[in-house]
Structure 1
Amino acid sequence: MDFSIASILALDGVTNGAVYALLATATVLLFAVTRVIFIPQGEFVAFGALTLALLQTGQVPGTVWLLLIMAVLVALTTLVQGLRQGRPTTLLLREAGLTLAVPVAVSALAITVAPMQLPLVAQALLTLAIVTPLGGLTYRLAYESLADATVLVLLIVSVGVHFALLGLGLLFFGAEGFRNPSFWDERFAAGPLMLSGQTIIIFLASAALIVMLWLFFERSLYGKALRATAVNRLGARLMGISTVQAGRLSFTMAAFIGALSGLLIGPTTTVFYDSGFLIGLKGFVAAVFAGLSSYPLALVGAMGVGLLESFGSFWASSFKEVIVFTSILPVLLWRSLRDPHHEED
């Protein structure tokens, strides 16, 4: 291996690492706020890429119908639970209407404009609008009633949600893979490296989102509320912070991050309905490097995963996935020795 090959592999690793950093950040966010190890994070990646692919063909993507179905289920669940608790019918209908408002509006817009072959950027924005609400709806359907359950129970629920979304992905998108057009087709030479416009967009979008997340958590009231919930859920409740709203917001943000990641990687690889699982799992490995608690360490871990995958594919392409996932074992051993396990109450 000479310097030029190493440079190319490093660029590829850092590019992939930028996407893994977004997914690792979402994983850390969800675990910190809700204690959910969200295995289906990768499904949002696949949904984002495949939704844009179908919009490119002028079809209404299956995520539109999934959004409507989930919104109706959440609205019905809200009504049934509210009636059992004896809450006023008017208030329940208003809450159900608010639940349906955004999904119905977004779905109606998508059904109307899908055959119009909008510009790529407009289709990307529409994709984000379709996939992002799925996060909050998923939390309300699967996790909200179990918010105080143990981490193990929440993990088991995540496995079930993963298989459910995987099956729905196959139903709505089929087994065929799609590859999206690049957002920027220019190419730039930098010594032995050839930078594509899409690579630059991945770097810029990832950096911009990470900075925006930092500003959100440091400067905004909602961000500080999420941080308070992550530190102490009971204390946050006593201070008047709604942990329910915190969970919904964090899942919505995770869905947005996943959908954006799907848009970024769509032009670089062929995406299938089940492609998101491995991508999300690599983001999870990066989050484990950070102890599921530190955003900066998640970024460092993601870069390490990207570089390990890139160089591993050069030395042993058949075992690159094995190399990446095996790397988690010494990290887990080190953390286990450093922080001894205590029995959960």
Structure 2
Amino acid sequence: MDLSIAAILSLDGAANGAVYALLALATVLVFLVTRIIFIPQGEFVAYGALTFAALHAQQTPGVLWLLLSLAILAGVVECGEMMRRRQPAKRVALQVLGLVWPPLLVCAAVLAVTPTPSMVLQGILAVALVTALGPLIYRLAYQRLADASVLVLLIVSVGVHFALTGLGLYFFGPEGSRNPTFWDAEFATGAVTWSGQTLITFAVMAVIMAALYYFFERTLQGKALRATAVNRLGARLMGISTQGAGKQALTLAAFIGAMSGLLIGSTTTMFYDSGFLIGLKGFVAAIVGGLASYPLAALGALFVGVLESFGSFWASSFKEVIVFTLILPILFWRSLGQLHNDEEE
């Protein structure tokens, strides 16, 4: 291996690592706010890529029907709790409809009025539709168990993962798709060629990280999420809704996952179950940060991407093994520096 090949592999690994960094940030965010180890994060990636592929092929994406079904189910659950607590039905109905109908109406209007919308508009619609899944999934799967142990929430996450994978097979089918790039330009720097899609990937990662920093440091909702992450009971005593914080966390996670699907869908063929391995690599990066540090998680993701790239060059059949084996020494090292506590706080 010479320096030119090493530079090419490093660039390719950094591009994939940028996507893993976004998923790692989403994983850390959800865990800090809700204590949920959110295994289905990768399903948002697959849904985003496949929804964009359906819109690009001028087909009605199956996620529309999934959204409608989840909205109806969430409405039934809300009505049942409303009857038990004797709360007004109008406010609950407006909350449920406000989560789903805007992206549904926008998508229906664009599909009906514009025969050939631009790729950018298709990408925005795909992200909007997948993002709307986040709060509905939290409402149906996690809200009633918000105070359960981390182990119980992990088991629920496994169930949600299998449910979303099965629904993905039903709504999108077994066929894979590889989406077109948003920018076909290429820029040569010595032996390294920068594609336009790679530059977009780095730009999106930087923008999302900057937006998250501004959100958590400068906005009231972001500070409420930080307070919930620090102390859930204290946040409740200060009037912060931990249920609302959980919905916001999964909304952000769904948005980040959908954006990641648009970025990675042009570099690899995406199937209904492709998101699982992608999400696991983001989870490995989150483990590098101890599920607590955003900067360390981002750096860990870049390292995972570069390690995967070089591993595929030297032993392509074992690249997944190489990446996932990385988690073992990290967990061992972290276990040495932390005291064991039998009782969960």
Q: 2:74 is matched with which residue?
A: 74
Q: Is 1:55 equivalent to 2:31 in the alignment?
A: no
Could you give the per-residue CA deviations for residues 170-204 of structure 1, whole angstroms, max 9, x where no partner exists? 00000100011110000000110011000000000
Larger mean Cα displacement after TM superposition, 145-154 or 335-344: 335-344
What's the secondary structure of 2:72's corresponding residue?
Answer: helix
Q: 1:273 is matched with which residue?
A: 272
Q: CA deviation at 1:111?
A: 3.0
Q: 2:263 is matched with which residue?
A: 264
User: What CA distance in whole angstroms lies between the structure 1 residues aligned with 2:312 and 2:75?
Assistant: 47
Could you give the per-residue CA deviations for residues 197-244 of structure 1, whole angstroms, max 9, x where no partner exists? 000000000011001101111111111110110000011111111111
User: What CA distance in whole angstroms lies between the structure 2 residues aligned with 1:145 and 1:97?
Assistant: 20
User: What CA distance in whole angstroms lies between the structure 1 residues aligned with 2:98 and 2:336?
Assistant: 50
Q: 2:225 is matched with which residue?
A: 226
Q: 1:186 is matched with which residue?
A: 185
Q: Is 1:94 equivalent to 2:91 in the alignment?
A: yes
Q: What stretches of structure 1 of length at least 5 have no aligned partner?
A: none
Q: Is 1:113 equivalent to 2:113 in the alignment?
A: no
**Is contact 1:144-1:244 (8 Å) kept?**
yes
Q: 2:208 is matched with which residue?
A: 209
Q: 1:28 is matched with which residue?
A: 28
Q: Which amino acid aligns with 1:316?
A: A
User: What CA distance in whole angstroms lies between the structure 2 residues aligned with 1:86 and 1:55?
Assistant: 42
User: What CA distance in whole angstroms lies between the structure 2 residues aligned with 1:340 and 1:101?
Assistant: 45
User: What CA distance in whole angstroms lies between the structure 2 residues aligned with 1:222 and 1:34?
Assistant: 15
What's the secondary structure of 2:132's corresponding residue?
Answer: helix
Q: Which amino acid aligns with 1:307?
A: V
User: What CA distance in whole angstroms lies between the structure 1 residues aligned with 2:74 and 2:100?
Assistant: 11
What's the secondary structure of 1:5's corresponding residue?
Answer: helix
Q: Which amino acid aligns with 1:322?
A: V
Q: 2:85 is matched with which residue?
A: 85
Q: What stretches of structure 2 of length at least 5 have no aligned partner?
A: none
Q: Which amino acid aligns with 1:37?
A: I
Q: Which amino acid aligns with 2:95?
A: L
What's the secondary structure of 2:187's corresponding residue?
Answer: strand
Could you give the per-residue CA deviations for residues 290-332 of structure 1, whole angstroms, max 9, x where no partner exists? 0000000001100110011011111110000000000100000
User: What CA distance in whole angstroms lies between the structure 2 residues aligned with 1:34 and 1:98?
Assistant: 21
User: What CA distance in whole angstroms lies between the structure 2 residues aligned with 1:66 and 1:295?
Assistant: 32
Q: 2:10 is matched with which residue?
A: 10
What's the secondary structure of 1:195's corresponding residue?
Answer: strand
Q: 1:293 is matched with which residue?
A: 292
What's the secondary structure of 1:270's corresponding residue?
Answer: coil
**Is contact 1:27-1:37 (8 Å) kept?**
yes
What's the secondary structure of 1:189's corresponding residue?
Answer: strand
How many residue pairs get aligned? The number is: 342
User: What CA distance in whole angstroms lies between the structure 1 residues aligned with 2:118 and 2:10?
Assistant: 33
User: What CA distance in whole angstroms lies between the structure 2 residues aligned with 1:304 and 1:56?
Assistant: 33
Q: CA deviation at 1:102?
A: 4.1
Moved over 4 A (4+): none
User: What CA distance in whole angstroms lies between the structure 2 residues aligned with 1:183 and 1:53?
Assistant: 13
**Is contact 1:40-1:158 (8 Å) kept?**
yes
User: What CA distance in whole angstroms lies between the structure 2 residues aligned with 1:105 and 1:332?
Assistant: 43
Q: 1:327 is matched with which residue?
A: 326
User: What CA distance in whole angstroms lies between the structure 1 residues aligned with 2:134 and 2:89?
Assistant: 22
**Is contact 2:103-2:132 (8 Å) kept?**
no
User: What CA distance in whole angstroms lies between the structure 2 residues aligned with 1:239 and 1:246?
Assistant: 13
User: What CA distance in whole angstroms lies between the structure 1 residues aligned with 2:125 and 2:237?
Assistant: 39
Q: Which amino acid aligns with 2:110?
A: V
Could you give the per-residue CA deviations for residues 83-125 of structure 1, whole angstroms, max 9, x where no partner exists? 01222xxx22321233113412322332343362210000111
Q: TM-score, normalised by structure 2?
A: 0.97
Q: Which amino acid aligns with 1:98?
A: Q
Q: 2:160 is matched with which residue?
A: 161
Q: CA deviation at 1:75?
A: 1.1
Q: CA deviation at 1:26?
A: 0.2
Q: 2:242 is matched with which residue?
A: 243
User: What CA distance in whole angstroms lies between the structure 1 residues aligned with 2:293 and 2:43?
Assistant: 23
User: What CA distance in whole angstroms lies between the structure 1 residues aligned with 2:106 and 2:244?
Assistant: 26
Q: CA deviation at 1:82?
A: 1.3
Identity %: 63
User: What CA distance in whole angstroms lies between the structure 2 residues aligned with 1:281 and 1:234?
Assistant: 30
Q: TM-score, normalised by structure 1?
A: 0.97
**Is contact 1:312-1:320 (8 Å) kept?**
yes
What's the secondary structure of 1:217's corresponding residue?
Answer: helix
